Amino acid sequence: MHNTDTTRSFDVAALSRVEGEGSLRIRVEGNTITDLEFSIFETPRFYEAFLRGRHYQEVTDITARICGICPVAYQTSAANAMERILGIDVGHGIRDLRLLLYLGEWIESHALHVYLLHAPDFLGYPGGIEMAADHPDIVKRGLRLKKLGNAIMAAVGGREIHPVNPRVGGFWSGIRPEVLHAMRPEIEWALDAALATVEWTMGLPFPELTPEYEFVAVHDPDDYAVIDGRIRSSGGLDIDPAEWNETFVEEQVERSNALHARIVGRGSYLAGPMARFAINRELLHPLALDAAARAGLGAQESNPFKSIIIRAVELVHATARCLELVDGYVEPTPSFIERPPRAGEGHGVSEAPRGLLFHRYRLDESGHITDAQIIPPTSQVQLTMEEDLRALLPGILDRPDEEIRHTVEQAIRNFDPCISCATHFLTLEIERT
Partner 1 sequence: MSSLLVIGVGNPDRGDDAAGWIAAKRVADRCQGWVGGGPGKVRVCQSAGDPASLIDAWDGAEDVVVIDAVVTGGPVGTVCVVDLLRQPGFPVGRQVSSHGMGPAEAVALARSLDTLPASLTLVGIEAKSFTPGDGLSPGVLEGIEAALDLIEARHRGGS
Is residue 133 near partner 1 by the rule CB under 8 A? yes
**Segment near partner 1 (CB under 8 A), from 92-100, 136-144, 234-242, 261-269?**
136-144
- Which parts of 87-126 interact with partner 1 (CB under 8 A)? 112, 116
SS3 string, 12-41, reads EEEECCCECCEEEEEEEECCEEEEEEEEEC
Is residue 147 near partner 1 by the rule CB under 8 A? yes
Alpha helices in 328-400 (DSSP H): 377-380, 382-392
Is residue 157 near partner 1 by the rule CB under 8 A? no
**Segment near partner 1 (CB under 8 A), from 31-39, 139-147, 253-261, 281-289?**
139-147
Radius of gyration (Cα) for the chain, nearest Å?
A: 21
Helix axes 136-157, 307-327, angle to 10 degrees: 50
358/362 Cα distance (integer angstroms): 14
Considering the complex, state which of residue 45 and residue 368 has its C-beta at the smaller distance from partner 1: 45
Q: How far is the CB of 127 from partner 1 (least distance, A)?
A: 8
Q: How far is the CB of 164 from partner 1 (least distance, A)?
A: 12
With a CB cutoff of 8 Å and minimum separation 6, the contacts of 92 are: none
Is residue 132 near partner 1 by the rule CB under 8 A? yes
Is residue 45 near partner 1 by the rule CB under 8 A? yes
Strands of 355-363's sheet in order across = 344-352, 355-363, 369-375
**Segment near partner 1 (CB under 8 A), from 127-135, 172-180, 256-264, 290-298?**
127-135
Among 10, 50, 122, 206, binds partner 1 (CB under 8 A): 50
Is residue 300 near partner 1 by the rule CB under 8 A? no
Among 98, 146, 232, 306, binds partner 1 (CB under 8 A): 146
Is residue 65 near partner 1 by the rule CB under 8 A? yes
Tally Cβ neighbours within 10 Å of residue 27: 17
Considering the complex, state which of residue 150 and residue 268 has its C-beta at the smaller distance from partner 1: 150
Is residue 140 near partner 1 by the rule CB under 8 A? yes
Q: How far is the CB of 66 from partner 1 (least distance, A)?
A: 9
Beta bridge partners of 372: 361
424/433 Cα distance (integer angstroms): 29
Q: How far is the CB of 174 from partner 1 (least distance, A)?
A: 25
- Which parts of 337-366 interact with partner 1 (CB under 8 A)? none
With a CB cutoff of 8 Å and minimum separation 6, the contacts of 326 are: 100, 180, 181, 183, 184, 187
Total interface residues for partner 1 by CB under 8 A: 24
Count Cβ atoms within 10 A of the Cβ of residue 30 and give its class: 0-12 exposed, 13-18 middle, 19 or more buried.
exposed
Q: How far is the CB of 200 from partner 1 (least distance, A)?
A: 17
With a CB cutoff of 8 Å and minimum separation 6, the contacts of 140 are: none
244/231 Cα distance (integer angstroms): 9
Is residue 16 near partner 1 by the rule CB under 8 A? yes
3-class DSSP state of 382:
helix
Residue 376 sits at the vertex; the CA angle it makes with 370 and 377, to the nearest 5 degrees, is: 155
Among 161, 196, 204, 263, binds partner 1 (CB under 8 A): 161
Pair 150, 110: CB distance under 8 Å: no
319/145 Cα distance (integer angstroms): 10
Among 25, 27, 143, 220, binds partner 1 (CB under 8 A): 143
Is residue 138 near partner 1 by the rule CB under 8 A? no
Is residue 406 near partner 1 by the rule CB under 8 A? no
Considering the complex, state which of residue 233 and residue 319 has its C-beta at the smaller distance from partner 1: 319
Among 60, 63, 109, 150, binds partner 1 (CB under 8 A): 150
172/124 Cα distance (integer angstroms): 46
Is residue 43 near partner 1 by the rule CB under 8 A? yes
Considering the complex, state which of residue 48 and residue 386 has its C-beta at the smaller distance from partner 1: 48
Considering the complex, state which of residue 10 and residue 50 has its C-beta at the smaller distance from partner 1: 50
421/319 Cα distance (integer angstroms): 25
Residues lying near partner 1 in the complex (CB under 8 A): 14, 16, 43, 45, 50, 65, 68, 112, 116, 128-130, 132-133, 136, 139-140, 143, 146-147, 150, 161, 424-425
